[in-house]
Amino acid sequence: GENVEQHPSTLSVQEGDSAVIKCTYSDSASNYFPWYKQELGKGPQLIIDIRSNVGEKKDQRIAVTLNKTAKHFSLHITETQPEDSAVYFCAASSRNAGNMLTFGGGTRLMVKP
Amino acid sequence: SAVISQKPSRDICQRGTSLTIQCQVDSQVTMMFWYRQQPGQSLTLIATANQGSEATYESGFVIDKFPISRPNLTFSTLTVSNMSPEDSSIYLCSVSGGWGEGANVLTFGAGSRLTVL
């Protein structure tokens, strides 16, 4: 089945700096790659996603890039703010797994004011 | 996207007891799922709640331990039976965005944080 690895597990940046979180996946049939943000005491919230027919997608300060050949995708957050502090999860979905999502281990992002 | 309400939001339970978590969605949805998030860990799918039939459980999860009901397209319950401290987790209800490309877009509830003493 699908295996998703996420790095780093914790990331501390200064306010205003950029943050990058990377994920790799194992199933070449995976075609959907969402990113979720989980704040303390809340459920995960979808912040951006990308499908395998595009290489990059941007939404204001966040962007996701996908390299299908290398089977990795990344989340980029620019001009970080304290409210970006949360746990971020990547995930991958494969037709081979009935389109079910497999989640990475999570990254705890801390943005220091 | 759908709005999901979960009850209880948190509870402290005694070893050996059972607790039922409720998930209410503000619109009819085809697919509902239950996830477990152990402390500091990622999300693990427990089962798919099927309307009108038995839930589909993932490897490592069984109906006797996690019975699930899905009486209609807007409501589901998950029971954690005969709890032990290892069951202390956040339990999350989620729904998918529907058909086609929306089928794998998940919306999550706020979760139910269970602590078993």
pLDDT in tens, A39-54: 998 999 999 999 988 8
Q: Which residues of chain B have pLDDT under 70?
A: 98-101
Q: A64-73 long-range CB contacts below 8 Å, 24 or more apart? A: A64/A33, A64/A35, A66/A33, A68/A28, A70/A24, A71/A24, A71/A25, A71/A26, A71/A28, A71/A30, A72/A22, A72/A23, A72/A24, A72/A25, A73/A22, A73/A23, A73/A25, A73/A33
Residues A91 and A99: beta-carbon distance below 8 Å: no
Please state the separation of Cα B76 from the chain's center in Å.
Answer: 8
**Cβ-defined contact of B111 to A51 (cutoff 8 Å):** no
Among the partner residues B4, B41, B104, nearest to A32 by beta-carbon distance:
B104
Identify the pLDDT of residue A22.
98
N-terminal to C-terminal alpha carbon distance within chain A: 41
Q: What is the pLDDT of residues A40-99, one digit of tens each?
A: 989 999 999 999 888 999 999 999 999 999 999 999 999 999 999 999 999 999 877 777
Residues A26 and A93: beta-carbon distance below 8 Å: no
Amino acid at position B24, single letter: Q
**Cβ-defined contact of B45 to A106 (cutoff 8 Å):** no
User: Which of B58, B106, B113 to mutate to test binding with chain A, by most A CBs within 10 Å of its CB?
Assistant: B106
The pLDDT mean for chain A works out to: 94
Residues B32 and B55: beta-carbon distance below 8 Å: no
Provide the chain B residues 70-109 that lie in CB contact (below 8 A) with chain A. 92, 94, 101, 103-109
**B111 neighbourhood in chain A, CB within 8 Å:** 42-43
**Cβ-defined contact of A43 to B45 (cutoff 8 Å):** no
Q: How far apart are CA A104 and CA A14, in angstroms?
A: 24
* Residue position matching structure tokens 């319950």: B77
Identify the pLDDT of residue B101.
67
* Residue position matching structure tokens 């697919």: B31
Q: What percent of chain A has pLDDT over 90?
A: 86
**Cβ-defined contact of B108 to A41 (cutoff 8 Å):** no
Query: What tokens appear for A69 in the block?
Result: 């050949």
